[in-house]
Amino acid sequence: MRLYNTLTRRLEELDVQNNTVRMYVCGPTVYDLIHIGNARPMIVFDALRRYLESRGYRVIYVQNVTDVDDKIIRRAHEEGRPAAEVAAHYTEEYFRDLASLGVARPTHSPRATAYVPQMVELVQRLVASGHAYEVDGDVYFSVESFPGYGKLSGRAMDDQEAGARVEVDEHKRHPGDFALWKRSKPGEPSWPSPWGDGRPGWHTECVVMSRDLLGEVVDIHAGGSDLIFPHHENELAQAEALTGRPFVRIWLHNGLLTVRGERMGKSVGNFAYARDVVGKYGGEAVRYFYLSRDWRKPLDYSDEAVAEARRAVDRVYDFLWGAEALPGEAGVDVSAELQGLEGRFHGALEEDFTTPGALGVLQEIVGLGHERRQAGDLGGAKAAALFVRRLGGSLGLFQAPRPATDALADDLIRVLIALRADLRKAKQFALADRVRDRLAELGVELRDGPEGTTWVLRPSSPAAGSRS
């Protein structure tokens, strides 16, 4: 597998030891519910993890929770409750949203507040080595002490300025110096340190947690492109200043979500909460929406685009549930053709995780299955369905079982199918069509084929709604 490395600006082969991928993905700052743009890296890198696991890799997947931060403190003041309580509440809501999006739980979900002593130790080491300095209880990393600073973002030293979550301070030696430890103000969460009571800087948190859970060198470090600078640049500087070794083998960054060309964000107000979108279209439609686009490019969000993804997902389930209801076993006569399509599926994903190409192959398999069914090859249709299930599952898609109906409903549908057949024989086609149309309104679609008339619950029917 080759992936585009932000650091080297080229595709690089994923080369890991002991068949184990050590993967760190930056997680949320838990002061509010996540919006639909926040969900993009969660889905994209969850899909990458699932695919690697389907290919036989062991993936240690770490995603942190930032549970101490200025935004959390502000929300706590607004709500009149402790910052820890705010963080705990929105952490729980975050994992609830992940589940609704079909995102698997990380192997480890470390909270920043559980690692403060280790963060103090790391800052002490940086101060002792001359890479950091203290000013009135605040500790800053000296960007001038690290010759490689700027290599991830491509920013020259002269262009560096204090970035997001890095406070401007006249005591800094260089505008780009960033906080490793921040003196706490009255009423703010604080921990003891050699520089007085305070709390860790955001950029230090991820370094400590990744080193503890994944070791000094991480195979993949991922997040949104907005994290390249300053967050990931500052992580890299601290980690490599400590060890003199590369911190990350491959840096991955997904493109941001936009709305009419403008970046989606809570500060702008042009966002939708992820759970509201899931409630309207289903988690699998959101997943398909993201995976049907190039993960590295910006993506413009609209209700129409997610609705189209919903229809695409429904069409695949329409085929799957229809094929799986057919009598007999999966055939083998189309296996060579299906294996060729499977090879193209893997080829797309192993070249920079090109999920749009992989989904295109899945749609080709669905088309092949329809052709086989129309030709009377029921085994071939069922074989295509098996391939869609297996390959789609490697991306977290198309695993919902065919909705079940109770025995009475099954019998009533069969009675109506028989009635419709009798009406057609009697050339009462208008009445026969009314039976078909009324069943369709209830979510039951009739299929006329060489084997007779079969039926399937449409994915959008009430019985199918629990899938999302």
236-to-72, 150, 159, 244, 410 alpha-carbon distances in Å: 25, 10, 18, 11, 61
Quick check: pTM over 0.85? yes
* Nearest by Cα to 312 from 366, 373, 273, 357: 366
- Between CA 176 and CA 141 the distance in angstroms is 9
Contact 329, 386 (CB under 8 A): no
- Between CA 204 and CA 200 the distance in angstroms is 7
What is the per-residue pLDDT for 463?
A: 37
- Between CA 468 and CA 400 the distance in angstroms is 9
**Could you give the domains of the chain?**
14-254 (3.40.50.620), 297-393 (1.20.120.640), 407-467 (no CATH)
Residue 313 makes CB contacts below 8 A (sequence gap 6+) with 282, 284, 285, 288, 397, 398, 459
Residues of the chain with confidence (pLDDT) below 70: 157-169, 332-334, 404-405, 451, 458-468
